Amino acid sequence: MANTLVRNSGGPAAPTFDDFVERFFYGWPSFESGSRTAWTPRTDIYETEDAFVVDIEAPGVPKDQVKVEVKNGQLTVSGERRLERKAEKESYRLERHYGAFERTFTLGETVDAEKITAAYKDGVLTLTLPKAEKARPREIAVEVK
Amino acid sequence: MLPNIWRNTGLLTAPTMADVLDRFFYGVPGAARNADSVWAPRVDVHETENEVVLDVELPGVDRKDVKVEVKEGVLTISGERKQERKARENGYRSVERHYGRFERTFGLGETVDAEKITAAYKDGVMTVTLPKLEKVKPREIAIEVK
């Protein structure tokens, strides 16, 4: 499953047993489950001819609360979703996750890290990782002798 | 644990065992009960003095593909998240997001004015505002001094 081009080192968003227990007793996963991030956004990765595309679900996260960073061959997307709605009475059901989130991806040599771009639309952060020249498919002319 | 008004209004009820199982397997309650839908968005429910507000997480869902409906006291939010053609054609490396039809339903009881429900979509979150009926709004009763 893991590929060398874009390795996904963040955990999947599937609920853990701790989530289950916390949800059962408290209604939603705890913000203090040991890690410093509260939740992990669901992420899809697909490949086109020229690039790898990473779609990260971050609904309700303001664009200026998201940080995309490349360091030592690691691409890190982090940010925070705050519970901003001031309920006059109470919030009866909180299924959404709030607090800090983070995903880290290991970049292979096939990605041109200088040219990574990010866009945010309808709650989805799309990172485009252009392939390095050497990783693109190229045709080799066959010389006829 | 459950606030009183919830029970009174019948808008939401305490989690059932089915809810617990749904949450464990699908992340949200009610996911497995609609044969037609394959996933269920996360929803927050807030209440203010005059309205009940639902925040529904629908990142990457075209608002044209979302339907909000009230029928016989039940609010249904349904729709579909479509996969991008480009992604389908080129092949995924990793898929964690849910695609296909989704649905959530909420029993409203006789608490909100179905005619005045509004919905707005911003940054992947659909906010459904349900104004309360006059009769369920809190009111002060003057005490007559005799």
Q: Write the pLDDT tens digit of every residue in A16-36.
A: 565 555 555 544 444 444 457
| A123 → closest Cβ in B48, B59, B96 | B59
Angstrom distances, CA of residue A32 to CA of A37, A42, A50, A100, B54 = 8, 20, 40, 11, 26
Contact A58 B27 (CB under 8 A): no
d(CA A128, CA A58): 16
Residue of chain B whose Cα is closest to the Cα of A44: B95
Instruction: Compute the nearest-CA separation of A72 from chain B (Å).
Output: 22
- Would you place residue B125 in the very low, low, confident or very high pLDDT band (cuts 50, 70, 90)? very high
Angstrom distances, CA of residue A115 to CA of A118, B5, B45 = 10, 54, 41
Question: Tens of pLDDT along A74-118?
Answer: 999 999 998 877 655 567 788 899 999 999 999 888 899 899 999
> Residue A101: which H helix or E strand, with range?
strand A99-107
Tokens of B23: 């949450």
Contact B93 A124 (CB under 8 A): no
* Long-range interactions of A28-31: CB distance < 8 A, separation 24+: A28/A94, A28/A95, A28/A97, A29/A97, A31/A98, A31/A99
| B124 → closest Cβ in A12, A45, A59 | A59
Interface check for A7 against chain B (CB to CB < 8 A): the answer is no
Contact B94 A88 (CB under 8 A): no
Residue appearing with tokens 């040219």: A115
The closest of B65, B26, B111 to A95, measured between CA atoms, is B26
- Predicted structure pTM score: 0.72
Q: Could you count the other beta carbons within 10 Å of the beta carbon of residue A23?
A: 22
Selected residue of A95, A97, A106, A124 to mutate for chain B interface (largest B Cβ count, 10 A): A95
- Would you place residue B56 in the very low, low, confident or very high pLDDT band (cuts 50, 70, 90)? very high
d(CA A23, CA B20): 8
Write out the residues of chain B at the interface with chain A, using a CB-CB cutoff of 8 A. Answer: 1-3, 5-6, 11-12, 20, 23-24, 27-28, 42-49, 53, 55, 57-62, 86-87, 90-98, 121, 123-125
| A88 → closest Cβ in B49, B59, B94 | B49
State phi, psi for B78 to the nearest 5 degrees.
-140, 170
Question: Tens of pLDDT along A114-142?
Answer: 999 999 999 999 999 999 887 777 788 88
Q: What is the DSSP letter of A20?
A: H
Sign of CA dihedral A37, A86, B97, A22: positive
Residue appearing with tokens 């209604």: A27
Interface check for A89 against chain B (CB to CB < 8 A): the answer is yes
Contact B47 A92 (CB under 8 A): yes
Tokens of A139: 């045709």
pLDDT at residue A56, as a whole number: 96
Helices (H) and strands (E) in chain A, counts: 1, 9
Encode burial over A32-43: b for 16+ CB neighbours within 10 A, e otherwise: eeeeebbbbbbb
Residue A34 · residue B100 · CB < 8 Å: no
